[in-house]
Amino acid sequence: MITDKNLTSEKPHLDGVQRIYDLANGYKLSLINSPIVHAYPFAWEAAVLKDDELRYDTPLTEDVEVFDTDEEANAFIEKAIAWAEGD
């Protein structure tokens, strides 16, 4: 199961679900599991957002990230939380 840590919203999105995670530095993560994701239903696609715009210029990623398992997605969420807190 994907973590609820820092989760601020979950809503239906493109015939699947979108989860938004708030980060301490003002960025957000958007995780989507839907038929548009590369390996649906077994993957989550994560994007970094700032001011509701996709950002490709962070130390986390230069693109969207695709995860095959909840564990991989959770590890990315934890990495993002640590980055946002300056760890």
- 28 SS3 class: strand
12-70 residue pLDDT tens: 998 889 999 999 999 999 999 988 776 666 689 999 999 999 999 999 999 999 998 99
From CA 49, how far away is CA 20, in angstroms rounded? 9
What is residue 34's predicted lDDT score, i.e. its pLDDT? Answer: 87
64-76 residue pLDDT tens: 999 989 999 999 9
H or E stretch including 36? none
What is residue 17's predicted lDDT score, i.e. its pLDDT? Answer: 94
What is residue 68's predicted lDDT score, i.e. its pLDDT? Answer: 87
Domain extent listing, the chain: 7-84
What is residue 41's predicted lDDT score, i.e. its pLDDT? Answer: 67
